[in-house]
Structure 1
Amino acid sequence: MDRRWKRCAAALLAALALTIPAHAAQIEVDGQTLSASDAWVEEGTSYVTLRAFSTLTGRTLTWTGEEARLAGAGLTLEAVPGALYVTANGRALYVPGGVRAEHGVTVLPLSVVASAAGAELTWDGESAAARLKLAGAVPPQASYDETDLYWLSRIISAESRGEPLLGQIAVGNVVLNRVNSGQFPNTVKEVVFDRKYGVQFEPVSNGTIYDRPTDSAMLAAKLCLEGAAPVGDSLYFYAPALSAGTWISTSRAYYGTIGCHKFYG
């Protein structure tokens, strides 16, 4: 139940970010309107600098030469410019498009900062304002179901070893979409070993599902369990170099290609 709540919350925040109009939008934190240099809306997504966030919350922001580190008030966040994620209290949070660094300042989507801080993010259409409520917020600690993480990391590793991180996240995205779909079993392990219409994943047949997962697959699994969904509601994927994928390509809606895999809804 906790995992599904995280995915629903992440989807809600993503939808919120995408519906904010770029014109005349304001970003407020606990009633305080931030300056345009500290927070802004760009192509439908609201952003905030970690410098401004640290000042507002009294947290300490440091730069190690490779990453920005924000610490204090129950939150430790690390952000590496260009990375597709940040870590926050041991959690792995997906950053669509990657962590940005502009003029020496680290920039994150406001939705990612809200998730890290455990804060409420809302949109007021009448006043065209994105509002972040930090008062009383408690930054969540990492909490992953061990069985889900175990099998999700293994299927990601076996299916997408050598793929870029985004491709690995996409594979995990499909597995969790199946868990949440009434067409498939409702746990990660059951989806991985599903045989209703034959073995669904080749690693189950060749035994590589039992191999120790790579570090990147573990990371991708955590990102997926936190709600990362780069291929939306896709339920299928295949690698053209290894399979014709005839039924999938003719029966399902094409979503996109990441690395060696094509994804379908």
Structure 2
Amino acid sequence: MRMIKWLAISSLLVVSFISFSTISHAYTVKSGDSLWSIAQQHGVSLHELQDINNQHHSLIYPGEEITIPQAISSSDQQLMARLVHAEAKGEPYAGKVAVATVILNRVDHPDFPNTVRSVIYETYRNGSYAFSPVQNGSIHQSANAESKQAVQEAIAFRGQGKGSLFFYNPDTAVSSWIFDRETTTVIGNHRFAK
């Protein structure tokens, strides 16, 4: 019985290690491919794709083998799209991309959780959530096509923005500390800041 438990636990650990340690895979460039299209197809940023392949240009050739970094999971992309839809409904497309970019910037920043899900569901000491759609439940509404596309674009350009970590509507913001943050850009009704 003890041997069976040991085998079950060690098998589980091996499977966990394999699934969490797979951070990249190889891809053979096809005719008509570009780094941009490959990044979009695999849900990774163009910047990450260039970095992992040590490329400082955009030239690739059919038959060339390149490394694809680990992508953001489809469930995390769907979660991001639902948040973008709830937060930026009625905002221009660029504003939707910027909201998705804030999520990714937080994932990459040491002061925030390091996963998409953890960033979106982050809670503060007072029990409130970082994003109001999580608090009011509107994050559970389906995302529209534009919000999904905005997430794809934010992923493709990950790490290339202005470093925005926050966004707010100055007409409805209730926390005064946000007004002290450096504004990076204004899109529609939202101000983006770091």
TM range (shorter): 0.5 to 0.7
Q: In the superposition, relative to structure 1, how do residues 157 and 230 fare at CA in structure 2: closer, same or farther (>3 Å)?
A: farther
**TM-score, with structure 1 as normaliser:** 0.50
Does residue 186 in structure 1 map to residue 139 in structure 2? no
1:62-211, aligned counterparts within 5 Å?
73-75=30-32, 90=41, 121-122=55-56, 132-134=59-61, 136-138=63-65, 144-197=72-125, 198-211=128-141
Aligned letter for 1:188? V
Q: Is 2:143 aligned against 1:216?
A: no
2:193: which partner in 1? 264
CA deviation map 1:184-231 (0-9, x unaligned) = 111111111111343111101111100000111111111222234574
For 1:236, the equivalent position in structure 2 comes to 166
Aligned in 2, Cα 1:206/1:230: closer, same or farther, shift over 3 Å?
Answer: farther
Q: How many residues align?
A: 163
CA RMSD of aligned residues (A): 3.7
Change (3 A) 1:146 1:121: same
Q: Residue 73 of structure 1 aligns to which amino acid in structure 2?
A: K
Aligned equivalents of 1:73, 1:231: Cα separation in 2: 29
Deviations 1:139-183 (A, max 9, x none): 87xx55122212111111110012121111100111111111121
| Structure 2 stretches lacking a partner, 5+ long | 1-19
Percent identical among aligned pairs is: 26
Gaps of 5+ in 1: 6-71, 78-85, 95-110, 123-129
Q: 1:256 to 1:153 in 2, by over 3 A?
A: same
With over 3 angstroms needed to count, the CA separation of the structure-2 counterparts of 1:230 and 1:157, relative to structure 1, is farther
d(CA) in 2 for partners of 1:155 and 1:133? 35
Moved over 6 A (4+): none
Distance 1:74 1:237 in 2: 40
Q: CA 1:174/1:160 → structure 2, altered by over 3 Å: closer, same or farther?
A: same
**Highest RCO, 1 vs 2 (Cα 8 Å, sep ≥ 6):** 2
Show CA shifts across 1:34-72 (max 9, x none): xxxxxxxxxxxxxxxxxxxxxxxxxxxxxxxxxxxxxx9
Task: Determine which structure has the larger helix proportion and give its number.
Answer: 2
- The structure where strand makes up a greater share of residues is 1
